[in-house]
Chains A and B, each alone.
Chain A
């Protein structure tokens, strides 16, 4: 049972434009959400996170939005750069949980 879903396996965006990666979750007990970026032959790298008490968190070019009622979060990258090309994983956890639940990832390609 996939509790965290990323329904778009891939996304292509022109350099300089906005990339929007989406993630849905089913477990209403999740209260902490993270995005990881993964390059080939490397482990996932933490990018940005958001707690359920917020609806937005920003870090430079990266902004994560959380819509608790829709059980949906998104990652916005503005402006997109070719170096952003990677697989992006959404992850979630809940109070008392000891592990993260990951989505299946979205491969972002930023075209120069």
Chain B
């Protein structure tokens, strides 16, 4: 158990809809990272927050947004969903900023029908 929690575990929705994925980092970790893993792909970095502020952006679509709240949990919002958005979405956390060892949650599997 990494100490990072993600909810929900599974999510099934229809095209055009909007969903919110939630992540709680390890106790004391200030950085939260979001990654997407599509079928047979590596993990693609989406976005990072550090202590409530956006710190880095990767291959995140404009239809996607995220935020980190004062209690350090983070939410990833996916809107106008398309079939191609079906993927595993992982959250990771780290004590500080930077990019060395990150600890991953169990992921949310999103299926868009």
Contacts and interface: CB of A to CB of B under 8 A. Distances in A.
Q: What is the interface residue range for chain A against chain B?
A: 20 to 34
A73 interface: no
27 contacts: A2-B42, A6-B42, A32-B99, A32-B100, A36-B104, A43-B6, A43-B90, A43-B104, A43-B106, A43-B107, A44-B104, A45-B2, A45-B104, A46-B103, A49-B101, A89-B42, A97-B56, A98-B98, A99-B33, A99-B45, A99-B48, A100-B99, A100-B102, A102-B35, A102-B44, A104-B40, A104-B42
Interface of A: 2, 4, 6, 9, 32, 34, 36, 41-46, 49, 89, 91, 93-94, 97-105
A55 to B, nearest CB: 18
A34 B101 contact: yes
Nearest to A36: B104
Q: Interface of chain B, helix or strand or loop or mixed?
A: loop
A84 B105 CA distance: 20
Interface string B14-35: 0000000000000000000101
A97 B98 CA distance: 6
Nearest to A38: B104
A4 B42 contact: yes
A61 to B, nearest CB: 19
